[in-house]
Chain A
């Protein structure tokens, strides 16, 4: 049962299991020019993954296929193609129940087909990592980037992070395992990115050495029993409370759901220690602040550059972790703002809704601009929205 520390030893590919903090913050990094999908492969090469289940759906198909190459090279313990996303997520669950470190990728409609599994993963405390490479989900058919499914995954009990760049992706996939496998967290993690904008474009990413890998998952640090019969079996419940409509049943379920949310909250300290916080901020003492996640952050940065050229200073909040939600951080970062713009790549504005729900005087939140269905968000569109409010309002609060 007791697993001796493996740090410093080599795996079958000759990679040295390295202390995570050393790997992330001290190891020599080498720049590489890669697509987002290739970056996923490079992260998994270093992640000591036991089981990966794949299924084709655009725009994640390439990443799922590239992990197959890693398996053929011997970096991944097992790899298979499932028969549908519902089955894939179930296969991931089975592997995680059996004590494996598990990885999968999904996108758009496939994420929704898989959906029943996500609250089950969280309820079963399975630290599976799924990459969500967002795309449109609604009819008519659309394969272009759109982040509606992130809004839908927020309330499953999973940790949810939204990467802006390929570099975020590389670091967060590796850091994600360390955060989600902590015994006081032990929850599934969705690392999301905006499909195509991140998956299919090339970017320079600083990679950790290929001969270093994360230490393997230790299933016996799980807060729930690993299903491998290595622990003495017990008759786990004397009474099948799950099926009975009585007070004990309700209380058990209610407290369990609260525990899942509490576990998610407990991940804050680990996220702060590895990702440097749940948000990043720039110049938030200004009257106008842009709050964004994913590639909308990049568009916000460009808009800020254009506005600065005309003499208008604007602050920026990059939201990295959506679950747990950076409630207090956003309150602090927006406390001086007269206007808070939330640009998003979806039609509903789920991030604006989240921000509005946690700050005081939330009529400061301007849920604009929105683009959807795969349209790009030129920074000029953000600038235009900001101009509109300033002109119309003449310094007063006007939006709509």
Chain B
């Protein structure tokens, strides 16, 4: 489906919500170089959200939605948590079913779409919090990777169960005092990026969302590699400023502090040789296409 498929009946045009008209006229569907710079120019897939003021997750949502290579053929799968407060405002088909089963849902969805559209690419992207990904849903997260299911898993890591009020999660730092960890968490932050690599993910990144350009590149890589090579995993620090005692304006600085070289969200990227070669091939094709366009014009 491309932008052209979404049309408004002319007789109803004046009564359609302005957001819908904008989406039909200005959506970036079908535009290969869409990215975070379209935010603010185009009404991109998400306009409002119901998260707390200054929530880093809202930044992450915008960057990710702006970076999807083909939103017109992408279905997202969420899970219980603050993300399920945002998904109702997202103009990409999205599924929320239960807590922690997002990678199982995505497995069935991707397979169904492959059966139904054998000659078309349909991207599936999972987006869930750390409680859903690493605690309640870990079995299904890992098994989807073992089976080499071809979709991207994105974890919004805020290092606790934020939506339910700040309880201990597996990705919480050791020693952090939290509800349900009254004398401090007893074990280390689960090293899911390493586990992801060992479990067969072709592309794994651990980072914050402080730099939109970097988020865009990572998301595009992750979705492209998942199409052809195998499962991909992106872990993004989206601190819950409410639960760690920060002000609305302090989320960005919190992420910048946490991505310094010695910190737990220092940028780390793993890419398999096969995925690397695939990306290089994609880039070469893109350059060749651009060059032939230039040649055709001159």
Contacts and interface: CB of A to CB of B under 8 A. Distances in A.
B114 interface: yes
Interface stretch (B93-101, B258-266, B271-279): B93-101
B89 interface: yes
A229 B74 contact: yes
B12 interface: no
Given A90-B140, A227-B95, A237-B89, A82 B1 contact: no
A240 B82 CA distance: 11
A117 B117 CA distance: 26
Contacts of A80: 107, 111, 147
Contacts of B75: 98, 227-229
B112 A51 contact: yes
Contacts of A93: 97, 101, 105, 108
Which secondary structure characterizes the binding site on chain B? helix
Contact of A91 (B6, B71, B89, B105): B105
A239 interface: yes
A4 B47 CA distance: 38
B112 A86 contact: no
Contact of A232 (B6, B84, B115): B6
B77 A94 contact: yes
B54 interface: no
B50 interface: yes
Interface in B182-229: none
Interface string A221-237: 00001011110111111
A78 B115 contact: yes
B284 interface: no
A84 B87 CA distance: 27
B104 interface: yes
A97 B93 CA distance: 10
B109 interface: yes
A222 to B, nearest CB: 13
A80 B108 CA distance: 9
Interface string A79-100: 0101110111011111111111
Contacts of B47: 235
Interface string B148-159: 000000000000
Contact of A236 (B6, B20, B88, B107): B88
B106 interface: yes
B5 interface: yes
A120 interface: yes
Nearest to B146: A83
B122 interface: yes
A87 B140 contact: yes
Contact of A96 (B72, B92, B104, B112): B112
Given A90-B98, A124-B97, A235 B108 contact: no
B90 interface: yes
B250 to A, nearest CB: 25
A87 B139 contact: yes
A238 interface: yes
A20 interface: no
B93 A227 contact: yes
B113 to A, nearest CB: 5
B297 interface: no
A39 interface: no
A231 to B, nearest CB: 8
B109 A94 contact: yes
A235 B71 CA distance: 13
A87 B147 CA distance: 13
B144 to A, nearest CB: 9
Contacts of B147: 80
Interface string B37-51: 000000000010010
A99 B112 contact: yes
Given A236-B88, A237-B88, A94 B115 contact: no
A77 interface: yes
Contacts of A225: 93
Given A228-B75, A235-B88, A237-B89, A98 B97 contact: no
A174 to B, nearest CB: 20
A236 B89 CA distance: 7
A98 B84 contact: no
Interface in A210-266: 225, 227-230, 232-243
B95 A94 contact: yes
B290 interface: no
B32 interface: no
A50 interface: yes
Nearest to B70: A229
Given A83-B143, A87-B139, A94-B77, A228 B117 contact: yes
Contacts of A88: 104
Given A227-B95, A229-B92, A77 B115 contact: yes
Contacts of A90: 97-98, 101, 104-105, 108, 140
Interface-central residue, B5, B112, B113, by most chain A CB under 10 Å:
B112
Contacts of B84: 240, 242-243
Contacts of B140: 83, 87, 90
Contacts of A241: 88
B85 interface: yes
B140 to A, nearest CB: 5
A386 interface: no
Nearest to B143: A83
Given A102-B112, A229-B73, 10 more contacts: A51-B108, A80-B107, A86-B101, A94-B107, A97-B112, A100-B115, A102-B108, A233-B93, A236-B94, A240-B87
23 contacts: A50-B115, A51-B112, A78-B115, A82-B143, A87-B139, A87-B140, A90-B97, A94-B106, A97-B108, A97-B109, A98-B112, A99-B112, A102-B112, A116-B98, A120-B97, A120-B98, A227-B75, A230-B1, A234-B20, A235-B90, A236-B88, A236-B94, A237-B88
Interface of A: 50-51, 53, 77-78, 80, 82-84, 86-88, 90-100, 102, 116-117, 120, 124, 225, 227-230, 232-243
4 smallest beta-carbon distances between A and B, as pairs = A94-B108, A98-B112, A90-B104, A95-B108
